[in-house]
Structure 1
Amino acid sequence: MSGNSPLFFRDGLKFLFSKGGQIFESTLEINAEPMPLFLARGYNSRPIFSPNGNEVLFTSDRGDHSFVGVYSLISKTIKWVAPDVTQDQLGVWSPDSKSIAFIRTPGIKIGELENFTTGTPFSLMVAEIESGILKAIWKSPGLDGGFAQSYSANPITWTITNRILFHSEHIGWNHVFSINPDGSDLKDITPGDGEVESFVVDPTGQNIYFDGNREDINRRHIWKSSVMNANPTAVTLGDGIEMYPIFSGNELYCVRSSFNATKVVARIEESKKLAVPIFPQKPVSFNASLFVKPEAVTFKAADGTLIHGQLFINRTITTQRPGVVYMHGGPTRQMLLGFHYSDYYSNCYAFNQLLANQGYAVLSVNFRNGIGYGRDFRMTKNQGPRGATEYQDVVAAAKYLQSLSEVDPAKIGLWGGSYGGYLTAMGLARNPEIFKAGVDLHGVHDWSFDGHDATNSWGLLKSESELARKSSPVADLSKWVAPVLMVHGDDDRNVNFQQTVDLVEKLRAKNVAVELLVLPDEVHGFLRYESWSRVFTATKDFFDRKLK
């Protein structure tokens, strides 16, 4: 049986895991038959043992509301903690096993749709298990919840030194805050410009180690700060990318990569500010002569917004070359100056390196709506189906490439996947005078399409259908003349395959040169190595034929 979130009992002989909305118990035997720990309505997940080992805290999602529950391993009963019409989630235990802290957000009203581009007010709650006494110890001052609590794997912690730590971006950046259980002494312990993506508390409970892009906005490094004072100090430095700090005993580990080395598990030697690979001990590194060291660049969009990107250019080539703009998906992502911590974007980074090696100049653009540059940048107005304001960042990236003496301004292409596929199609539809070829991987092409696809998470109302269509590539097909390679797996659970079916048929009807790579039974993130290989081989061949 498959599952997730494994959690071992103290004796190490059994463990809990979540599957299909229930929590199961199993031994470690190969042919063990997992049994439900309990049966309850809703989607039950995130089991956490109490420090005394007698109870299991969990979340039960009921759709329009959710509960936090405590299951007793002794009495075999469930105690629902302060049930309400709200969304209660992400519970954690106090050190004495007598209380829990959790996040509370409003329940979902009739007709209310998910919209990840807006914020959600949230409260930090503390409840005594035995008495049921509940207190909101802190409330967000505005619509500052949702993303900060959902993007991080563990956005709330109760330390053994009796401080509650939690993510919030009410100051404009996703930071870690420390507060007493009674709601006093709130402190931002990761101050300054920069995002925090994850953190871990050290064994003493006195410090946190966190990853983020403070002082190096195009990478990630590990930092240390006291849970009581705002005094961040760098733990890793340099050209590497270090993510996901975690302790095993007193040893600190992370995931590390660089511009020419794929990610590895590394042990951090704090005194030397080094991350030493331990698995594999000899990481896959590529000859520096084959890779270019991407350059951090900035440029301004038409409305004056400063946009960051990474330029891949082989300066040993003296002749002019084609330029290619790359757009990530998400859109809540950020490309970096090295192999990405996400497998999908690590592969895309490698392909951008290949293009640079083969005589292209590639500009990977971190358009607005992405992470890494603060809440306002991510939550920019009129984005996506409500105006596509971020598309001007793509045009600005292309014009930046055209301004380079090494680039042939008449040979600009673009490519991207998912949201990047959407922006690829936008470029070909809106600006044929700039973009001469594009590769669109599983992109959204009609935001008004009322299907089970990515449009649902934007909270689009029927009254917004016309605006959504105007913000889509299909609204400007009359101008589309450039050739395109369309790639899509037909078992895509993120972007409906029909988005590609519809666009291809429309383009064929107007005699646009459409090349197609359909991957039967493949999903959004391409599970098979063969799929990635076919996609990148086809993409390079396409650009070679259309831009060189």
Structure 2
Amino acid sequence: MASYVSESGYVETQQVRGKVGTSKPIGDELLLLDVETHEQHALDLSVLPAISDDPLRELRARARERRRAQTQPATQPAESRPATRAANHLREEDESEDDVGPAQQRAKRRQRAERTATAQQLPPETPESESPPASAPAEEEESDKPRPVQVRDVVWSRDGQRVVLQVLSLDNKDRWLATVDLAEHKLVPLEHWRDEAWINERFAELGWLLDNETIYFLSEEDGWSHLYLRSVSSDQRRRLTSGRYEVSDVSLSRDGQRLYYTANATHPGVYEAYRIEIASGRSEQISRLGGRNRILLSPDEQTLLVQHSSSTRPPELYLHPLRPGAEARRVTSTTSDEFLRLPWVEPQIVEVPSPGGGTIYARLYAPPEQPRTSVRAAAGSPRTAVGASDALGATRPAVMFVHGAGYLQNAHQGWSTYEREFMFHSLLAYRGYVVLDMDYRGSAGYGRDWRTAIYRDMGGPELEDLEAGVRWLADNARVDPVRVGVYGGSYGGFLTLMALFRKPELFACGAALRPVTDWAHYNHGYTSNILNVPQIDPETYARSSPIEFAAGLKRPLLLCHGMQDDNVFFQDTVRLAQRLIELGKQDWEVALYPVEPHGFREPSSWLDEYRRILKLFETHLAARAAE
């Protein structure tokens, strides 16, 4: 990655991450070492159930067929040769090469060749003066050998006589728990889960009870993260929690009689502290603070240290006696008086029906001066929200914020990590905008099926949910549907582009910040979970990458990207800009930030970016009211 602003005055470069599918996976080996005799014994991982059963077998077979077809003689008629990329079928060009000059024709052909090669990880034909990109490892022929794995956890019992291992396949489709027969030097499988989409490593906590016989662990096997017990010497197994909520942050009491945990059992956006008696299975809620809470049990187990926040107040520390319903006492005051004095707009949590079934939870910021009426809020109790009655007056413009990361929850009732956006949304509300911030499909906090709805289809279900959000605003918040803008960063930038390119009439304008424009250029760990790898699943990359749909742009677009971004490379925006130029698109611009990484560091850069976003909305949303 190049750095153009440097102390040396020269362009400096640094090594950054590789791209998805460009390195050969190398799995762990597992050895048992006798510290007294110094003997070591290799543990056979092939005993893990289904370790040789490749869940991507069919995709690999199709990839091999494509490669064989591509080796056919070049003299074969073009119309009888298979397409080199599914994108050639999915993308509809809005202009032909006959409409442009020779130089533009060459640029268009070269751009298409580059995109085709990127998706299949094959180097494009390049002039001798240019260096071709490094090629990715070729797919191996089908075999029944064990898949490579990662040994994630090695947890010994308290007496040191037993050990339990947590193992994940590198394709992240399988998870195993196993123990080791120390005398026979062999692995003994205990639990096995396969997710046809991907295993959720966030819910993989594991530990021992004091009996040195029983382990506790989290699993999403029923679609929600819950707590289980399992004997390591028998098939005895017991489920401790159940319901449409997620359990996390598990810890064992000193006497081994209880497990403490956090869960969003009362509402998807409220996280409270709980404990459960292991013998009886009786659980009880300890905290009732509302909002978002993280807990730490005191050494004497008389008190919980709680990091508590609300939607308008950053986290503070509280001491909570270890009694259900006890009063918590705040012990820190880290928020400035200046911040506390400002009249921030408190977001309401609302429910938006999802086209895929279920409910999209969202934060709604309403203009403070706007007339209000009572509507059904997310928790089911009457809350004030913007009314839908025609008698309330003229419609308002709106902005939809699209959170990043994909798998992240932002419509909870605690303090958001998007603190700048929270402040910006208050500003927009005071200027008369309604702001909707949705936990679209793929977001965290709502169970396995919501998380995996985007498998092999990034930008499909989420875009449907954004479209449902616009309809909800028009029906419930007195919003003019032709005056709705959209913005977001990283994954939110990606979805902003997908919306503007694939649903060009949905939003009046949009700002895509540090966006992924081609998933074949993102990292391996995140991307391969959801889209597999481009060598075996190019169709998925084609339908999920905004650059393939850039021809659909009709509305004003602002692109903002830091040139030192080592997460989503600046190259993503550069390549999209070139594509938009080739397509002859207008009403778009790029703001580049030479010294900024993925998350900006300089206040001046944040200010510049949000001034540009505000100007975009004021120009194309607020100003249209007079038209």
TM-score (norm 1): 0.76
Residues 49-448 of structure 1 correspond to what in structure 2 (within 5 A)? 64-67=26-29, 82=43, 84=45, 86-106=149-169, 108=170, 114=171, 120-127=173-180, 132=185, 134-140=187-193, 142-143=194-195, 147-148=199-200, 150-152=201-203, 155-162=205-212, 163-250=214-301, 251-271=303-323, 272-280=325-333, 287=340, 290-318=343-371, 320-340=395-415, 343=417, 345-380=418-453, 383-385=456-458, 388-448=460-520
Task: Report the CA distance between 1:183 and its aligned residue.
Answer: 4.1
Change (3 A) 1:284 1:466: farther
Give the match for residue 79 of structure 2.
none
Task: Report the CA distance between 1:427 and its aligned residue.
Answer: 1.3
Moved more, 156-165 or 497-506: 156-165
Residues in 2 aligned to 1:145 and 1:76: alpha-carbon distance in whole angstroms = 44
Residues in 2 aligned to 1:348 and 1:192: alpha-carbon distance in whole angstroms = 33
Residues in 1 aligned to 2:44 and 2:337: alpha-carbon distance in whole angstroms = 51
How much identity, in percent, do the aligned residues show? 24
Task: Report the CA distance between 1:248 and its aligned residue.
Answer: 4.2
Structure with greater Cα Rg: 2
- Three-state SS of the structure 2 residue aligned to 1:390 is helix
- Give structure 2 stretches of 5+ with no counterpart: 1-23, 47-148, 372-393, 623-627
Give the match for residue 609 of structure 2.
535
Q: What is the CA deviation profile of residues 20-45 of structure 1, one whole-angstrom value per residue up to 9, with x for unaligned ones?
A: xxxxxxxxxxxxxxxxxxxxxxxxxx
Alignment size in residue pairs: 470
Residues in 2 aligned to 1:208 and 1:192: alpha-carbon distance in whole angstroms = 17
Contact between 2:366 and 2:435, CA under 8 Å: does it hold in 1? yes
Q: What is the CA deviation profile of residues 144-169 of structure 1, one whole-angstrom value per residue up to 9, with x for unaligned ones?
A: 89634x214x7111133443111110
Task: Report the CA distance between 1:415 and its aligned residue.
Answer: 1.2
Change (3 A) 1:218 1:201: same
Q: In structure 1, what residue type is equivalent to 2:282? A: N
- Three-state SS of the structure 1 residue aligned to 2:242 is coil
Task: Report the CA distance between 1:436 and its aligned residue.
Answer: 0.9
Q: What is the CA deviation profile of residues 231-260 of structure 1, one whole-angstrom value per residue up to 9, with x for unaligned ones?
A: 332122243211254544434223221021
Contact between 2:44 and 2:186, CA under 8 Å: does it hold in 1? no
Contact between 1:178 and 1:227, CA under 8 Å: does it hold in 2? no
Give the match for residue 24 of structure 1.
none
Moved more, 173-182 or 265-274: 265-274
Task: Report the CA distance between 1:200 and its aligned residue.
Answer: 2.0
Task: Report the CA distance between 1:330 and its aligned residue.
Answer: 2.1
Task: Report the CA distance between 1:527 and its aligned residue.
Answer: 4.5
Q: What is the CA deviation profile of residues 354-405 of structure 1, one whole-angstrom value per residue up to 9, with x for unaligned ones?
A: 43344321111111112222111211265534x7232111111112112235
Change (3 A) 1:156 1:453: closer
More strand by share: 1
Give the match for residue 30 of structure 1.
none
Contact between 1:81 and 1:129, CA under 8 Å: does it hold in 2? no
TM-score (norm 2): 0.67
Moved more, 317-326 or 274-283: 274-283
Change (3 A) 1:304 1:158: closer
Residues in 2 aligned to 1:288 and 1:403: alpha-carbon distance in whole angstroms = 34
Give the match for residue 592 of structure 2.
518
Contact between 1:168 and 1:176, CA under 8 Å: does it hold in 2? yes
Change (3 A) 1:374 1:185: same
Q: In structure 1, what residue type is equivalent to 2:480? A: D
- Three-state SS of the structure 2 residue aligned to 1:215 is strand
Change (3 A) 1:224 1:146: farther
Contact between 2:399 and 2:433, CA under 8 Å: does it hold in 1? yes
Q: What is the CA deviation profile of residues 400-437 of structure 1, one whole-angstrom value per residue up to 9, with x for unaligned ones?
A: 11223532322101111211111111111122322011
Q: What is the CA deviation profile of residues 48-83 of structure 1, one whole-angstrom value per residue up to 9, with x for unaligned ones?
A: xxxxxxxxxxxxxx95322466889x8797967736
Residues in 1 aligned to 2:525 and 2:562: alpha-carbon distance in whole angstroms = 14
Q: In structure 2, what residue type is equivalent to 1:379? A: T
- Give structure 1 stretches of 5+ with no counterpart: 1-61, 109-113
Contact between 1:448 and 1:469, CA under 8 Å: does it hold in 2? no
Contact between 1:311 and 1:363, CA under 8 Å: does it hold in 2? yes
- Three-state SS of the structure 2 residue aligned to 1:487 is strand
Q: What is the CA deviation profile of residues 454-492 of structure 1, one whole-angstrom value per residue up to 9, with x for unaligned ones?
A: 645531334643453233333333331222221222232
More helix by share: 2
Q: In structure 1, what residue type is equivalent to 2:318? A: A
Residues 501-516 of structure 1 correspond to what in structure 2 (within 5 A)? 501-509=574-582, 510-516=584-590
Change (3 A) 1:469 1:160: same
Contact between 1:255 and 1:263, CA under 8 Å: does it hold in 2? yes
Residues in 2 aligned to 1:273 and 1:398: alpha-carbon distance in whole angstroms = 42
Task: Report the CA distance between 1:261 and its aligned residue.
Answer: 0.6
Q: What is the CA deviation profile of residues 303-343 of structure 1, one whole-angstrom value per residue up to 9, with x for unaligned ones?
A: 545322221213423564321112222211111344446x4
Task: Report the CA distance between 1:530 and its aligned residue.
Answer: 4.8
Contact between 1:264 and 1:283, CA under 8 Å: does it hold in 2? no
- Three-state SS of the structure 1 residue aligned to 2:151 is strand
**RMSD (Å), alpha carbons:** 3.3
Task: Report the CA distance between 1:353 and its aligned residue.
Answer: 3.6
Q: In structure 2, what residue type is equivalent to 1:516? A: V
Q: In structure 1, what residue type is equivalent to 2:461? A: T
